[in-house]
Structure 1
Amino acid sequence: MDWDDGGREVAMRGRWPRTQIRGGGRPTLGSCIRLDSWSDRTPLHEAAYQGRLLHLRSLIAQGFHVDTLTMDRVSPLHEACLGGHYACAKFLLDNGANAEAVSTDGATPLFNSCSSGSAACVRLILQHGASISSPYQLASPVHEAAKRDHRECLELLLSYGAHIDVELPVVGTPLYSACMAQAAACVEVLLHSGADVQLGCGQDSPLHAAVQSGGANIVDHLLDFGADGCCRNAEGKTPLDLSTPNSTVRAALQKRGPCSLSQLCRFCIRRSLGRNRLHRASSLFLPHSIKDFLLYQ
């Protein structure tokens, strides 16, 4: 549908080409929702995406429905979260917007909040009871936050119970996604939160991903947390096999010898505690230096 200046529906005047993106800069699926059509976007969607709260209030007062959808089932709340506009998102939710609206590409307001990196929007959507898991596997909020290196968004999702080791086809685990994207801050969050350092995408480990993306600092971090430098992927290749000769990544792999006894003990104790009890290590009756060692502090 198109809309006239008074907000009334008029006949649809045709659709924009599927590949056309307004302004040349709107993100597409992989980073957020994809809109196949711009012709059915309403002033409500535009105001939400641009963060124009007063205009949004005026349009709702004129009778626009808070959950008006485009042909791809994109709501104004989707757009507010994609723009990272907390005030607009809160106004829409306070007026009954659906926090779990799903576009035809499976994107939710929570996914779009993670894409924009707005921790305020992530917290707001979660407080309104939105599900952390996604019905559409390529639009997972925790994977989106991890690969975009939005640390605070990721920490919020984990605190609300997001599955830290969920493995999806193509994208693998959140840790694998973060390693592929060289998202060092989120790699650190995931490892300290107890992510399995061996789980990646199929037989590809996070270490394989870090080597392929060229992140020497991430390779070091994975090895510190017990990544197996000798594991082989589906093609029978180790991380060293995938490294470029004379690269910093190869140097990082080659300088590591066998794990020390203290390292092996740390791995064993952390596994025994389990991911859900790692935070309790700080309350153990142990010297502070040992507790810090267990928690990589």
Structure 2
Amino acid sequence: MAAVQTEVSLSPQPWQRPLYIYGGLACNSLMADFWSDRTPLHDAAYQGRLLQLRSLIVQGFHVDTLTMDRVSPLHEACLGGHYACAKFLLDNGANVETVSTDGATPLFNSCSSGSAACVRLMLQHRASIHTPYQLPSPIHEAAKKGHRECLEVLLSYGAHIDMELPVVGTPLYSACTARAADCVEVLLHSAADVRIGCGQDSPLHAAVRGGGANVVELLLDFGADECCRNAEGKTPLALSSPNSAVRVALQKKGPCSLSQLCRLCIRRSLGKSRLHRAYGLFLPHSMKDFLLYQ
């Protein structure tokens, strides 16, 4: 089918070039020779200037004007963490699923900026929570950046907690690599599998390399195996530096108690989808709290 070409007349300022729509895709043909083709619409969105954004839309700027790298104003609003601007763009028809040339979506940018409000807004507008494996993943970005609230919102909308991607591994592995203890805690309490990392490399290996003793202690408390070996045949202890806080954390743990083994067994038997039902078990409150690490 032949592409439909529609020209939108804009005012004659230098940055306002004729905008064309090819099969629904907005592009700016006269900006093709510029390495930087951000429009005032992009700048207003990134800076959170809502009144300017409204004015530019009234003047005739297309809400989905894209740069050469396919970055939309909505991308910029989310990267700046500006909820009001993002909502205004969406209310005026912005595409929540636009993917930039580097694979980022507005939802990904919201996770990158740490704006839980923007994350929730994108999901309310049905943004895809799971991207193809070759594209940047929102949940991995939130975990890596240590944005706990964003992570909690994603999980509440059903994000795959143990999704393993090449190089970056699982969200838990990403959080351990970045020493993002708050996110590690959220993932573990939400029943992330402490055994799955990146290939044969476990989250515990990643935490030891990152030097996060507090993260190492968290992982061990949730059943991480300090004797597991990676592709090089090394245990987490073998990766730790002598006399380091990480090595001390690994060595002081010792064998699991019977109560800890029972807790881990029950949690794994319940599984992620039913873990919340532990509150309904006919057990004393103290045992429920123990089971759920309260």
**TM over 0.5, shorter chain:** yes
Counterpart for residue 234 of structure 2 = 237
CA positional deviation for 1:285: 1.2
Instruction: Choose the corresponding residue for 2:54, options 52, 57, 69.
Output: 57
Counterpart for residue 130 of structure 1 = 127
Q: Cα distance 1:261–1:94, how it changes in 2: closer, same or farther (>3 A)?
A: same
CA positional deviation for 1:256: 1.5
Alpha-carbon distance between aligned partners in 2 of 1:137 and 1:159, rounded to the nearest angstrom: 24
CA positional deviation for 1:8: 3.6
Alpha-carbon distance between aligned partners in 1 of 2:293 and 2:278, rounded to the nearest angstrom: 11
CA positional deviation for 1:4: 2.6
CA positional deviation for 1:65: 0.6
**Would the aligned equivalents of 1:106 and 1:136 in 2 still touch at CA under 8 Å?**
no
The AA in structure 2 aligned to 1:287 is P
Instruction: Choose the corresponding residue for 1:290, options 278, 287, 292.
Output: 287
Alpha-carbon distance between aligned partners in 2 of 1:251 and 1:84, rounded to the nearest angstrom: 40
The AA in structure 1 aligned to 2:170 is T
| Equivalent residues in 2 for 1:1-297, closer than 5 Å | 4-5=13-14, 7-9=16-18, 11-12=30-31, 14-15=33-34, 37-38=35-36, 40-135=37-132, 137-297=134-294
Alpha-carbon distance between aligned partners in 2 of 1:151 and 1:285, rounded to the nearest angstrom: 32
- Bigger mean CA deviation after superposition, 135-144 or 125-134: 135-144
Alpha-carbon distance between aligned partners in 1 of 2:30 and 2:268, rounded to the nearest angstrom: 62
**Would the aligned equivalents of 1:184 and 1:218 in 2 still touch at CA under 8 Å?**
yes
- C-alpha root-mean-square deviation of aligned residues, in Å? 1.4
CA positional deviation for 1:258: 1.0
Alpha-carbon distance between aligned partners in 2 of 1:291 and 1:13, rounded to the nearest angstrom: 61
Q: Cα distance 1:251–1:94, how it changes in 2: closer, same or farther (>3 A)?
A: same
Alpha-carbon distance between aligned partners in 2 of 1:96 and 1:59, rounded to the nearest angstrom: 15
CA positional deviation for 1:135: 3.1
CA positional deviation for 1:139: 1.1
**Would the aligned equivalents of 1:106 and 1:135 in 2 still touch at CA under 8 Å?**
no
- Bigger mean CA deviation after superposition, 128-137 or 112-121: 128-137
CA positional deviation for 1:12: 3.8
Pick the structure with greater CA Rg. 2
TM-score (normalizing by structure 1): 0.89
Alpha-carbon distance between aligned partners in 2 of 1:13 and 1:149, rounded to the nearest angstrom: 37
Give CA-to-partner distance per residue, 1:59-109, whole Å, 9 cap, x none. 100111100111111100000000000000000000000011111111000
**Would the aligned equivalents of 2:176 and 2:215 in 1 still touch at CA under 8 Å?**
yes
**Would the aligned equivalents of 1:132 and 1:157 in 2 still touch at CA under 8 Å?**
yes
Count residues in correspondence. Answer: 273
Unaligned runs of 5+ in 1: 16-36
Alpha-carbon distance between aligned partners in 2 of 1:245 and 1:12, rounded to the nearest angstrom: 57
The AA in structure 2 aligned to 1:175 is L
**Would the aligned equivalents of 2:204 and 2:224 in 1 still touch at CA under 8 Å?**
yes
Give CA-to-partner distance per residue, 1:247-288, whole Å, 9 cap, x none. 010000011111111111001100110111111111211000
Alpha-carbon distance between aligned partners in 2 of 1:282 and 1:8, rounded to the nearest angstrom: 60
Alpha-carbon distance between aligned partners in 2 of 1:49 and 1:192, rounded to the nearest angstrom: 34
**Would the aligned equivalents of 2:111 and 2:150 in 1 still touch at CA under 8 Å?**
yes
**Would the aligned equivalents of 1:106 and 1:134 in 2 still touch at CA under 8 Å?**
no
**Would the aligned equivalents of 1:182 and 1:215 in 2 still touch at CA under 8 Å?**
yes
